[in-house]
Structure 1
Amino acid sequence: MRPCKCKCNVLSALILLVTFLFIASSVHCEDPYRYLTWKVTYGDIYPLGVKQQGILINGQFPGPQIDAVTNDNLIINVYNYLREPFLISWNGLQHRRNSWQDGVYGTNCPIPPGRNLTYAIQVKDQIGSYFYFPSLGMHKAAGAFGGIRIWSRPQIPVPFPSPAGDITILAGDWFKLDHRRLRRLLENGHNLPFPDGLLINGRGWNGNTFTVDQGKTYRFRISNVGLTTSINFRIQGHSLKLVEVEGSHTLQNTYSSLDVHLGQSYSVLVTADQPVKDYYMVVSTRFTRRILTTTSVLHYSYSKTGVSGPVPPGPTLDIASSVYQARTIRWNLTASGPRPNPQGSYHYGLIKPSRTIMLANSAPYINGKQRYAVNGVSYNEPDTPLKLADYFNIPGVFYVGSIPTYPNGGNNAYLQTSVMGANFHELVEIVFQNWEDSVQSWHIDGYSFFVVGYGSGQWTADSRVQYNLRDTVARCTTQVYPRSWTAIYMALDNVGMWNIRSENWGRQYLGQQLYLRVYTPSKSWRDEYPVPKNALLCGRASGRRTRPF
């Protein structure tokens, strides 16, 4: 009988062990939650030495930094203490299966004055550098933007040693006119004026000091949060080693300066390998005849020598050097991504796109006023968010196919609530065609896409021979050079109503945007989450009741 008793004891122990492991895994299976409370208020700011009414978050300009780890759940409760409706959007966060959290008017009702809205965002399978910003009413010209850092999980290797510090740089152009006056200018049919200056982290000339120790390496995350202009970033006497672009680890090329177009974010490593003194950190406008410049100070510990000499000049109107730089930014194919599988389950260059979409920007006058358009259609804001109209089957708000998938070839632009249809799980080729003399910058919410090619003149099918189908980066914002094209591949793996827009905020405000409705007849939570219980309802959706799938 003893052997039987021994076997029974071993079996009981195994059952207890399996039960314990199951309970332990159940306790820890859900990804962590991070809770934030933001109070949005007006406040006095002096970014260019002139008193202005800014928009603050928790009393801060710029707003608080968001730090998260891959797959974290962010619960952000936003209280609106302004006198006008307000929304926050998340430049680069992909909101997997959840366009309800996008924070633009096409998907969300604005937060009324005195009300709040709680965003629930999971940074699913993401790493990298991004930022948030206010999406309504030219609020971006008053502040309420901030940096987002998504760190890799501890078990996922990062392709460079841990830096001695991690520094966020939010740079861009700024206007002394407040956001209301800028908004009136646009609504009266005028373009935005030339900016009054540039800011780095909300301050003008030498307004910030970043302290480093000689011999150590630091990570700088640079985002262009401006309204109208590309910028160039550089540090006097130091090299910039590029390591990440909007969630993609890159080949670690070294640059003396880096072009950052509207809405873009980059990470560079900077080694403090110069003599102990202070150095200029410089941001200047790119592709503008009048050059705006601002500086911060890179201060070596124990330095007793301030910045001196002329501010290092940067590139100005030259397009060729910027195109060359863009083509050298490549994906690091040996680096791990946010998952243990380094590069996902497929390679973009081995799949033939199911269709091609061409989007051409233009600057027409409609009804005697300046507007901006895509494929001859200038986006007209509806009275009800598109996502809500789609969910409740409200007729008359929009119709799919209200914008053509190719430029119409005519000069008769018109106003329309532009919605383009697409099918879940398609791989599409999108060509941004620019016939204007200014650099364009395009962003697609909810997605990363592969920037496969840049070229001059008119895109044709023969242009595909120039594509990089091996190691281009995946990102969420791309530039299009004057009288040129940029081509991207995008896997439509995220159901929802997604904004495609110009990152030039005056152009976006006056119609250079559209929505892509990525559709599946499935009503499974596997494909798309249902409308949140706390969703604000407005327009023709007011008073309706949400329904579960």
Structure 2
Amino acid sequence: MGEHRAKMSPFLVLVLVLHVFEFVKCEDAYRFFNWNVSYGDIYPLGVKQQGILINGQFPGPQIESVTNENLVINVFNSLNEPFLLSWNGIMQRRNSWQDGVFGTNCPIPPGRNFTYNLQVKDQIGSFFYFPSLAFHKAAGGYGGIKVASRSVIPVPFDPPAADYTILAGDWFKQNHTDLKAILDSGNDLPFPDGILINGRGSNAFTFNVEQGKTYRFRISNVGLTSSINFRIQGHKLTLVEVEGTHSLQNTYDSIDVHLGQSLSVLVTADQPPKGYYIVVSSRFTTPVLTTTSALHYSNSAGALDGAPPGGPTTQIDWSINQARSFRRNLTASGPRPNPQGSYHYGMINTTRTIRLVNSAPMIDGSQRYAVNGISFVTPDTPLKLADYFKISGVYNLGGIQDNPTDNPTGGASLQTAVMPADFRGFVEVVFENPEETVQSWHVDGHHFFVVGMNGGQWSAASRTGYNLRDTISRVTVQVYPKSWTAVYMPLDNVGMWNVRSENWARQYLGQQFYLRVYSPANSWRDEAPIPNNVLLCGKAVGRQP
């Protein structure tokens, strides 16, 4: 038989070519990364330790991207044990498959690789990645993430002369395996040994500036147990961004950054040319741990002089008043070309109130940590896979109550607890802290509006003091001792999402759970399909995606 080919008019060919061109032109850009994760010797506090390196670096390589770009990150595990990376603050719209915590992903086995496919959809700001499995976070393996605005979106400040990342946090001289063994034996961690800035101890880094120019510093608390305070000798800090939200540009002498949090400040080199201390110190600890770096003016040979400036002399009241002063810039555009104040969160009726109370119970003679009387037990099968394959007996849906009626600070039980939630709900979450230490909470996959925080016991009457107009929205929030913090959170992201303490010992010993945001539509519009490269483990081994 002869082959018949229909002829196509030149005009139709041109139209098809233009359509293909438009499709290619409009597709969001891709950035590709190849990372090798290995152990290596590090000396952050002058003592040899076993650290986790990414491409031989500690901290790991920085990710620089632009709103809506696709990040393809191929991670090869050269450790002798399973490994996972998670993305602190990167939303993963419709795609908890890429979240990188054990509730959603099987670990990468030794000698194997896994390719994460992330999109920084409708996002800007400062974040970081870190190893989420076991107690690997105490060995390094973390790095910064910058998400810049698209060129067509105005930013509410002039481009800085340079953009610096500060990854700071407390550190232990013991190897992460020894720290994990302490926790596994039923004990709490010792006091940290020091503070690191970008993986090193005091006076290890110099940040160069030129007289009269303004610089952006992105500061993340990547530590394990301690809040920190950041300050620069003789210079003011102008806050401009908090975890993806442009803030009012208030000026501070120093800023508290709690566990897991990230923010950006502008610093103008407007002082006499010489060297100035950059100081990071622990907050609410005895003793106070301090480390320094240097801000050096290029037109000066002057060295650092005098003593590093001290931090805040008052404690909780000072910090809580500063936190309340973090406000949203209502007129600035976010990742889209519409003002951040166009979403009137305070005019939306909440569909549910979730109260979460932290506690530190002893269970069977061992130190554990809990939420609403439940201390989380990690199963052998990721919850996301159990949900997808309908594997029973892996987790207890509804095992953690959203409004505890008994005393959750007393006894506690061990469970693999998951809280059910409806897609497109708009919930009020109240974090209640009856303990004497500052807590820090993170919710994967969601931003929330910090509408209130105060001392004492939360009640319905506390809502009269909420900020329903211009509060900051973020992904991690602190709760002060004997205090509460309330947030409004749109449940706009289907998936299985980790809600956790950012104190990594508390997280490891059970102060976390998973929020199952469910849509009955079972549509790719609401949630991405299971990845072709999904790793299977536990009861999911041998299943066909």
* Whole-angstrom distance in 2 between the partners of 1:386 and 1:260: 31
3-state SS of 1:233 partner: strand
- Match in the other structure for 1:260: 257
- Within a 5 Å distance, the mapping from 1:470-509 to structure 2 comes to 470-509=469-508
- Match in the other structure for 1:155: 152
| 2:141 is aligned with 1:120 | no
Per mean C-alpha deviation after superposition, the further-off stretch among 256-265 and 394-403 is 394-403
8 Å CA contact 1:44, 1:54 repeated in 2: yes
Number of residues paired by the alignment?
535
* Whole-angstrom distance in 1 between the partners of 2:363 and 2:293: 43
- Residue identity matched to 2:443: I
- Residue identity matched to 2:244: G
| 2:301 is aligned with 1:333 | no
1:210 pairs, out of 207, 228, 239, with 207
- Match in the other structure for 1:62: 59
- Within a 5 Å distance, the mapping from 1:14-163 to structure 2 comes to 21-163=18-160
3-state SS of 2:182 partner: helix
- Match in the other structure for 2:537: 538
- Match in the other structure for 1:528: 527
- Match in the other structure for 2:5: none
| 2:318 is aligned with 1:321 | yes
Shift of 1:24: 2.6
Shift of 1:13: 10
- Residue identity matched to 1:352: N
2:402 pairs, out of 401, 405, 410, with 405
TM-score under structure 2 length normalisation: 0.96
1:371-395 C-alpha deviation (Å, 9 max, x unpaired): 0000000001111000000000000
1:69-128 C-alpha deviation (Å, 9 max, x unpaired): 000000000000001110000000000000000000000000111111000000000000
1:420-449 C-alpha deviation (Å, 9 max, x unpaired): 000000000000000000000000001111
Q: What runs of 5+ residues in structure 2 fail to find an aligned partner?
A: 1-8
8 Å CA contact 2:127, 2:144 repeated in 1: yes
* Whole-angstrom distance in 2 between the partners of 1:54 and 1:355: 44
* Whole-angstrom distance in 2 between the partners of 1:361 and 1:161: 42
| 2:193 is aligned with 1:174 | no
- Residue identity matched to 2:184: E
- Match in the other structure for 1:389: 386
Per mean C-alpha deviation after superposition, the further-off stretch among 302-311 and 536-545 is 302-311
The alpha-carbon distance between structure 1 residues 408 and 507, as it changes in their structure 2 partners (threshold 3 A), is farther
8 Å CA contact 1:289, 1:317 repeated in 2: no
* Whole-angstrom distance in 2 between the partners of 1:496 and 1:46: 40
* Whole-angstrom distance in 2 between the partners of 1:544 and 1:347: 45
8 Å CA contact 1:288, 1:316 repeated in 2: no
Shift of 1:346: 3.5
Shift of 1:343: 3.0
2:371 pairs, out of 353, 368, 374, with 374
8 Å CA contact 1:403, 1:420 repeated in 2: yes
- Match in the other structure for 2:439: 440
3-state SS of 1:219 partner: strand
8 Å CA contact 1:359, 1:432 repeated in 2: yes
- Match in the other structure for 1:227: 224
1:148-175 C-alpha deviation (Å, 9 max, x unpaired): 0000000000000000000000000000
* Whole-angstrom distance in 2 between the partners of 1:487 and 1:124: 26
Aligned Cα RMSD in Å?
1.3
Q: What runs of 5+ residues in structure 1 fail to find an aligned partner?
A: 1-11
Shift of 1:302: 2.9
Shift of 1:344: 8.0
8 Å CA contact 1:286, 1:316 repeated in 2: no
Per mean C-alpha deviation after superposition, the further-off stretch among 406-415 and 348-357 is 406-415
8 Å CA contact 1:433, 1:459 repeated in 2: yes
The alpha-carbon distance between structure 1 residues 276 and 346, as it changes in their structure 2 partners (threshold 3 A), is closer
8 Å CA contact 1:287, 1:317 repeated in 2: no
8 Å CA contact 1:80, 1:111 repeated in 2: yes
3-state SS of 1:263 partner: coil
3-state SS of 1:420 partner: strand
3-state SS of 1:472 partner: coil
* Whole-angstrom distance in 1 between the partners of 2:17 and 2:541: 49
3-state SS of 2:397 partner: coil
Shift of 1:30: 1.1
8 Å CA contact 1:130, 1:149 repeated in 2: yes
8 Å CA contact 1:131, 1:146 repeated in 2: yes
* Whole-angstrom distance in 2 between the partners of 1:438 and 1:405: 23
- Match in the other structure for 1:8: none
Shift of 1:20: 5.6
- Match in the other structure for 1:189: 186
1:252-280 C-alpha deviation (Å, 9 max, x unpaired): 00000000000000100000001110000
| 2:301 is aligned with 1:304 | yes
8 Å CA contact 1:244, 1:268 repeated in 2: yes
1:402-437 C-alpha deviation (Å, 9 max, x unpaired): 111123423220000010000000000000000000
* Whole-angstrom distance in 1 between the partners of 2:200 and 2:516: 39
- Residue identity matched to 1:267: S
Identity of aligned residues (%): 69
* Whole-angstrom distance in 2 between the partners of 1:166 and 1:146: 15
- Match in the other structure for 2:427: 428
TM-score under structure 1 length normalisation: 0.96
Shift of 1:211: 0.5
* Whole-angstrom distance in 1 between the partners of 2:344 and 2:175: 46
- Match in the other structure for 1:5: none
* Whole-angstrom distance in 2 between the partners of 1:138 and 1:302: 44
- Match in the other structure for 2:518: 519
8 Å CA contact 1:335, 1:342 repeated in 2: yes
* Whole-angstrom distance in 1 between the partners of 2:341 and 2:78: 43
- Residue identity matched to 1:38: W
1:229-259 C-alpha deviation (Å, 9 max, x unpaired): 0000000000000000000000000000000
- Within a 5 Å distance, the mapping from 1:255-294 to structure 2 comes to 255-294=252-291
* Whole-angstrom distance in 2 between the partners of 1:150 and 1:237: 29
- Match in the other structure for 2:448: 449
- Residue identity matched to 1:266: L
- Residue identity matched to 2:426: L
8 Å CA contact 2:442, 2:502 repeated in 1: yes
- Match in the other structure for 2:467: 468
- Residue identity matched to 1:338: P
The alpha-carbon distance between structure 1 residues 204 and 316, as it changes in their structure 2 partners (threshold 3 A), is farther
3-state SS of 2:396 partner: coil
1:307-342 C-alpha deviation (Å, 9 max, x unpaired): 010110002561101010000000000000101222
8 Å CA contact 1:288, 1:317 repeated in 2: no
